[in-house]
Structures are given as structure tokens and as C-alpha cells.
Amino acid sequence: MPFKKMILLLAVSAVLGLQAQNPIVQTYYTADPAPMVHEGRVYVYTTHDEDETIDNFFTMHNWRAYSSADMVNWTDHGVVASLKNFAWSDKDNGAWAPQAIERNGKFYLYCPIHGDGVAVLVADSPTGPFHDPLGKRLIEDTPDIWHDIDPTVFIDDDGQAYLFWGNPKVFYVKLNEDMTSYDRSVGEKGIMALDMSVEAFGSQKDENGVLRSNYTEGPWVYKRKDLYYLVYAAAGIPEYIAYSTAPSIEGPWTYQGYIMERAPHLAFTNHPGIIDFKGNSYFFYHTHELSNGEGFKRSVSVEPFTYNEDGSIPLLKPTKAGVTESLSPLNPFQRVEAETMAWSERLKTTKSSKTGVYVSSINNGDYLMVRDVDFGDGAKRFLAGVASGAVGGSIELRLGALDGKLLGVCTVSNTGGWNTWEVQAAKISKAKEVHDLYFVFKGGEGDLFNFDWWTLE
């Protein structure tokens, strides 16, 4: 089924004004969310399920990043790393679940290459460019390289960093301060394994009726107050999300139960990520709702939650609403990247060296929505950075809904090329206070124009 038809069902909720927020990205299939808080923003690193799968299996060549300051509008930073970053690997598929962390002004992205182990990339910015500092995999002398997936990284209060990973067991190393090597004097050549007991991870029966650990894959390690948390995909296929806690990063771990059970719109896999941000707690996961049930085409979602008084995590339900309240209004009187959006229909984004990421594949009737735009005392003009190698089209600005109050129409004419950018403007009616703003694109057949940024005056 073509990608543009796949999101029709989810688009209906937006048309009806239900303000669906999940999944948080509609332009691409994204999975395995790894959120990181840095300087007032949440950066979410994701895997990327391609629109077309090979051999009906995970088809994943690169890693993408998105960020938000308000938890409802997400800025697309495009592909930030790919398998091509690793010249030593001959894999052209298998860019599986990563995680990033910052230390001493550097950003480390731990990347599993399915069949080639866990590697690491380094950058000076959370969105790259990333480079390979080692020229080889990070974790060596591994028991079984095909099980080396889903790394999660954590720096304890004493400065010691740890890297956990694994399916169907959990392994970990003590990272050195450089974050690109590890202490080989402990464990088996530096690698240690957690006790996979029933007490630590709960239990389930396998297909032969044999009792085994409830842990499956996708570990996520963090500390809150004096308690260490290990959250993970559990119960085999289809996957639930469960967690264990410990008084120390090295255990002993105690099984605490499920965080998210099975639901019809969840994929047969799931992958957790948990952060605290601006006084709130958020749980990230993925579903297959955007693809109408195709488990190899997944999409990242997020739910706000509150810890219980004893530090336990409540059972969460995956919703379409997601985060219903923004943490702060969006300022439209400064440049806003067009790829910053809360919801969209049928659009894609493209990344170029000239402009960075921009909105592309704009056709008649497509739209994007930005949540909680603060119009203040009003604006008189709308400006947009656009490019068109066709006849162009128009951008309708509407308040609150696709058919909401029309503020104005910006006509986009041919600019002489799809990457020949011009500023085009329109007068708009005065709107005050905070509203959701819809950009509805109109025009003839085929791609109309590309959209890079916008602002109000």
C-alpha cells in the first residue's frame, strides 16, 4: 500500500479536531526511540524502517533524529548517521536501535549493526555530523555477535559510565571516560552478564513449556533518586514492556512487572525510552498504527506519566492522544523551521547541504499543523522560504482546524528550481493569543513546491 494512503485513518482524527499526537512522526516510519535531554530540548534518536521492505523483514539503513522544546511540536533533523559511517562493515541493512549521550561536550551515538555488533559514533553536536573514532566495532570478544543489539548507555553519579545491551541476555561493560573504550580488567575480557533469574526479570514459558526469563531485548537503564531502573521489551513475541529495579547499577535486580501490555495497534516488537523533562516524565515506545498493521514499518509514540509515590511505574496504555498539553507556546515571530510540526498528512522531508531539512512531496490537499502558536497581539504578514520547479501553489493559513478561520493565503510561484529558494509573503488577518495553526497546501497535479521555513510579522 502506498505510504500516502497509509496514514488516512490517523488523518481522520486530525480532521475531526481530535488532535492526535501519536505517532509523533508521520513523514517517515520510525522505531526504537532513544530520548536524550540537552539544553532545554528533548532529542529523540530513532531507527528508520524503509517504506519498502526487503524479504518481508526489517529494512533499516540509517538513524534519524527529532527534537522538541514543548513535547508536541517536533523538529525533523533528518538522517544523522547511517551504516555508511562504518567503512569497516559490509552490512547494507541492520541499522538497529541506538542510544546517544553527552559527555564533556561530545555526543556519543552507540549503534548496533545487526550481525556486526555494537559500534560508536562521535559528534560535536547532538545532530552531527557523526564520525567513527575507532574504525572497528566497540564491543569485542563477544559471546555471540548476533545477540549484540539494543545498546543503552548510562553515566552514574560517580562519573562511571556503563553500556548495557543484548538479546536474549543482558551484558554490560564499564566504559572508560573517553566513552569509546571499556575496562577490560573486569569480567570476561571486560564483558559482564546480569543474572537472568526469575527474581531479576520475572518468568514466562517458552514454546516448549519451559520456564525462562521474561526479558527479551531493548534494555533502557537510568537512575531516579536512589533507585536504578532497567526497562526492557519482555514476554517474547508479541512484546510487552516490563522493568526491574536495583539499589546498585550492578544489581541485584528485582522484577517489578509490566509498564505496557499488548494492544491491537502495537507492533509485534516494542522498545522503551524514559526521560524526565521540565518537571514531567515521558515514556517513549513504538506502534505499527501508521502502516495499518505492518510490523516492519513502525512509528514512535510517547505517553506522559507520573511515578507512584514509592517510585514504581504505573501500567500505561498506548493512546492516540499522547501528549495533550504543550510545555510552552511556540513563538511565530522568529524563524520557525517548516519541518517543525505536531501533525502532518502525506508529506515527506528532505535534507540538503544548502538548506538542511525542509518539507517536500507537497501535493494538493496535504497539510501540516503546529500546536499552540502564540500570536500575541497579532501579526499582519506571513513569510515563507519556498522553492518550486513547477507551477507552484498556495499555502492557506487556518486557525484550529483544517476548515478553521482563514487568516490568509500565501501564493507560491515558480522560483526557477526545486532548490532555488525565495521568500514569498502574504497579508494575513489579525489573530491574537494562542492557537493551533494549520498550513493547508493547494494547487494542481503533482509536487507543488518545497517549504523550508516560515515566520510572522
Sequential DSSP letters for 40-93: TEEEEEEEEE-SS-BTTB----EEEEEEESSSSSEEEEEEEEEGGG-TT---SS
Give the model's pLDDT for residue 14: 42
Q: What pTM was estimated for this model as a whole?
A: 0.95
Section 289-309 average pLDDT? 97
Answer for the pair 68, 36: CB distance below 8 angstroms, yes or no. Answer: no
Per the prediction, the chain carries an average pLDDT of 95
Q: Give residue 207's pLDDT band: very low, low, confident or very high (50, 70, 90).
A: confident
Answer for the pair 437, 332: CB distance below 8 angstroms, yes or no. Answer: yes
What is the distance between the terminal CA atoms of the chain, rounded to a whole angstrom? 42
Q: What percent of the chain has pLDDT over 90?
A: 93
Residue 3, pLDDT > 60, answer: no
Residue 30, pLDDT > 50, answer: yes
Give the model's pLDDT for residue 19: 64
Residue 15, pLDDT > 50, answer: no
Cα–chain center distance at 338: 18
- The conformational region for residue 320 under phi > 0 = left, psi -120 to 50 = alpha, else beta, is alpha
Helix (H) or strand (E) holding 109: strand 106-113
Residue 182, pLDDT > 70, answer: yes
Give the model's pLDDT for residue 206: 75
Residue 204, pLDDT > 90, answer: no
What whole-number distance in Å separates Cα of residue 391 and Cα of residue 385? 16
Give the model's pLDDT for residue 17: 41
Residue 328, pLDDT > 80, answer: yes
CB neighbours of 431 closer than 8 A, spacing ≥ 6?
375, 378, 379, 399, 405, 407
Delineate the domains of the chain, giving CATH numbers in brackets. 28-305 (2.115.10.20), 336-456 (2.60.120.260)
What whole-number distance in Å separates Cα of residue 426 and Cα of residue 106? 42
Section 305-332 average pLDDT? 97
Answer for the pair 409, 397: CB distance below 8 angstroms, yes or no. Answer: yes
pLDDT tens for residues 56-92?
999 999 999 999 999 999 999 999 999 999 999 999 9
Section 291-318 average pLDDT? 98
Residue 299, pLDDT > 60, answer: yes
Helix (H) or strand (E) holding 198: helix 198-201
Answer for the pair 5, 322: CB distance below 8 angstroms, yes or no. Answer: no
pLDDT tens for residues 87-122?
999 999 999 999 999 999 999 999 999 999 999 999
C-beta atoms surrounding 159 within 10 Å: 8
User: How does DSSP classify residue 315?
Assistant: P
Candidates 157, 199, 150; CA nearest to 172 is 150
C-beta atoms surrounding 421 within 10 Å: 19
Answer for the pair 84, 96: CB distance below 8 angstroms, yes or no. Answer: no
Report strand pairing: 381-388 vs 348-352.
unpaired
Burial class, 25, CB count within 10 angstroms (exposed 0-12 / middle 13-18 / buried 19+): buried
Section 388-396 average pLDDT? 97
CA atoms within 13 A on the CB side of 291: 22
Cell of 71: 513535547
Give the model's pLDDT for residue 350: 98
C-beta atoms surrounding 84 within 10 Å: 12
Section 382-402 average pLDDT? 98
What whole-number distance in Å separates Cα of residue 11 and Cα of residue 447? 20
Cell of 12: 481522520
Q: Give residue 211's pLDDT band: very low, low, confident or very high (50, 70, 90).
A: confident
Give the model's pLDDT for residue 20: 80
Instruction: Kindly list the catalytic residues.
Output: 32, 199
Q: Give residue 243's pLDDT band: very low, low, confident or very high (50, 70, 90).
A: very high
Q: What percent of the chain has pLDDT over 70?
A: 96
Q: Give residue 1's pLDDT band: very low, low, confident or very high (50, 70, 90).
A: very low
Give the model's pLDDT for residue 8: 44
